[in-house]
Structure formats: C-alpha cells, structure tokens
C-alpha cells in the first residue's frame, strides 16, 4: 500500500497513464494525491479529469489556479483564453457532473504531519488554520451563491492576508495564496508578476518556502514549473512536485512513505 503525490497534470493524459504504469499503481491498495491543475494547456484535459474522478476514494486532489479558471469560465461568466484546452470539457455530455466533482474539491489536504496545497501556504499559517481556510472557500464553492463567488473571484487585491478580511476579498485572498503564490515579502504580501525561477524575485521578495516556520510540517506543492522540482534555500520541510510536463519537462510522482521520486518524460513540445 503506497501513497503517491503527483505534480501538475495540465491535461497531459498520456504521461499520466505512463506514470501510473511505472508505479504499478493499484487503486485497490494505493492512493494518489494530486497537487492541482489537473487540466488546461495539455491536449488531454477531459481525459485527465475523467480519469481522476473515476478513481473515487483512491485519488485525493486539491484545486489549482487552472482548475479555478475552468470553474470561472463554466459557472462564473469568465472567458476562455487563447491557449486554453478546455473546450472538450465544456462540451462533454457529462460536463455538469465533472464540474460538480471539481467544484467539491478542497484547497488543502492534511494527513498526519503532511499538508498538500497547490501553490503553498503562508509561513505564519498553522496546519489547522490552512485546513480551516480551505473549508471557508469550499463552503463558498458549495453554497447556493457559488456562481456569484466565482464571478468575483479573480483579481490581485488584497495582496496581503489579514484576519479581519471579510466577504469576497477574504475568499479571493485565500484562493490566491493557495493557488497562485510564489514570491512574498517579510510581511506576507504576495507578488503576482514574477513567474519564472528564483532569479526573477522582485526586490524585497523571496520564495514563500525560504521563510521559516514554527513547526516541522511537511509541505507538498506544485504550481511552480520553473523550479523543476527543486526548492533551493528552503527553510521548511517542503517538496516541489511540478516538473513542467506540459512545457516539455517531465511528470513526477513521489512516494509519500519513502520519498522516492519517479518521473516520465513529457510527450509535449518543449517550450
């Protein structure tokens, strides 16, 4: 019985299947943890979504920014972007069931001393706080007013989380931390412009994992393909799982019990 944490699929279905074969994955005994961004950019977004949903309790997934983008397009009045590969999902016969499933997923999963999110967590957030914040967003996603929430979800403000934030501003900030964060400053303010490697850090900003925590929580995240699965200078117990499959890199799984990594090469053209 093994638990495998897999990086951003981004619609790379052929590589997903190949990786599961390499792992000899058996859904009867094994479990998959997926760090979000199941879809978009790659050619098999619909197949990825269908396959993960079909695994039922053998798969646990958190939402990423591209997953939210699909929900905003489908149910919040958002528009498709030029490089999106979401058309097959939006026109699928079981579209609503797939969207319902996706919309029910959390933003953080905690098991024992391990916490998985898509982009990371602020260094000041305790594990129980992160789970509670995830539940706040989930409640909004599952409410009768979820369409209104999704309509007003996207935006960069507020740039810094505060306990006294309320309403959609609070929810938007939580979603941005969980799904978009890369660089922050010492006060926890997020930068949304820099998206490349560590050398792209704005003045006064560092990767979120280079700030110390008061606990020894193991943190699992994806989202940041430019890191290529590495976290130089990390001051926390952290594992980066996005190794840029959709950009021509590889798709990576880590055995949560042993720490062993297994990767398969991308079938996509290198960007």
222-234 tens-digit pLDDT: 999 999 999 999 9
Structure tokens, 64: 């990423």
- What contacts 42, CB < 8 A, 6 or more positions away? 9, 10, 11, 12, 13, 48, 85, 245, 246, 268
Q: In terms of residue numbers, what domain contains 213?
A: 3-265
Q: What is the mean pLDDT of residues 155-167?
A: 96
Give the global pTM: 0.97
Q: Burial, 78: exposed, middle or buried (Cβ in 10 Å; 0-12, 13-18, 19+)?
A: middle
Is residue 248 assigned to a domain? yes
Number of domains in the chain: 1
Average pLDDT on 196-209 reads 96
Over range 145-163, report the average pLDDT.
95
CATH number, position 243 = 3.60.21.10
Is 271's pLDDT higher than 70?
A: no
Q: Is residue 191 part of a domain?
A: yes
Residue 203 falls inside a structural domain = yes
Asked whether residue 153 is assigned to any structural domain, the reply reads yes
Q: What is the distance between the alpha carbons of residues 195 and 182, in angstroms, rounded to a whole number? A: 7
Looking at the chain, which runs of residues are DSSP E strands?
Answer: 3-6, 31-34, 59-61, 109-111, 114-116, 183-184, 190-191, 206-207, 218-221, 237-240, 250-255, 261-265
For position 110, what pLDDT does the model report?
98
Residue 111's beta-bridge partner residues? 114
In a domain, 271, yes or no: no
Kindly indicate the confidence band of residue 33, based on its pLDDT and cuts at 50, 70 and 90: very high
**Sign of torsion over alpha carbons 215, 186, 110, 249:** negative
Residue 270 resides in a domain: no
Is a pLDDT exceeding 70 seen at residue 44?
A: yes
Q: What is the pLDDT of residue 270?
A: 61
Residue pLDDT, tens place only, 59-109: 999 999 999 999 999 999 999 999 999 999 999 999 999 999 999 999 999
For the chain, give the mean pLDDT. 97
What's the mean pLDDT in 155-177? 97
**Mean pLDDT across the stretch 173-194?**
97
Nearest-angstrom CA–CA distance, 135 and 31: 22
> Which pair of tokens denotes residue 259?
């720490």
pLDDT above 60 for 164: yes
pLDDT at 125 over 60: yes
pLDDT of residue 268: 87
Over residues 200-228, the mean pLDDT reads 97
Residue 101, number of CB atoms within 10 A of its CB: 16
Q: How far is the C-alpha of 140 from the C-alpha of 114, rounded, in Å?
A: 25
């Amino acid at each position: 019985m093994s638990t495998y944490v897999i990086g951003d699929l981004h619609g790379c279905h052929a590589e997903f299947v190949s990786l599961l074969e390499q792992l000899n994955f058996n859904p009867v005994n094994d479990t998959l943890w997926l760090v979000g961004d199941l879809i978009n950019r790659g050619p098999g977004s619909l197949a990825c979504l269908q396959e993960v949903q079909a695994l039922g309790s053998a798969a646990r997934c958190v939402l990423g920014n591209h997953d939210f983008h699909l929900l905003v397009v489908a149910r919040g009045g958002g528009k498709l972007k030029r490089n999106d590969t979401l058309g097959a999902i939006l026109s699928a016969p079981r579209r609503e069931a797939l969207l319902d499933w996706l919309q029910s997923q959390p933003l953080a999963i905690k098991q024992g001393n391990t916490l998985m999110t898509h982009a990371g967590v602020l260094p000041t957030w305790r594990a129980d706080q992160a789970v509670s914040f995830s539940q706040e967003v989930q409640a909004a996603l599952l409410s009768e007013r979820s369409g209104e929430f999704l309509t007003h979800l996207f935006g960069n403000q507020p740039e810094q989380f505060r306990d006294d934030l309320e309403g959609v501003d609070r929810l938007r900030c939580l979603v941005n931390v969980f799904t978009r964060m890369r660089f922050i400053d010492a006060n926890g303010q997020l930068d949304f412009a820099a998206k490349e490697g560590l050398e792209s850090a704005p003045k006064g900003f560092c990767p979120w994992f280079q700030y110390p925590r008061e606990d020894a929580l193991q943190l699992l995240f994806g989202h940041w393909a430019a890191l290529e699965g590495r976290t130089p200078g990390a001051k926390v117990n952290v594992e980066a799982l996005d190794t840029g499959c959709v950009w021509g890199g590889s798709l990576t799984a880590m055995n949560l019990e042993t720490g062993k990594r297994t990767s398969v090469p991308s079938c996509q053209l290198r960007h």
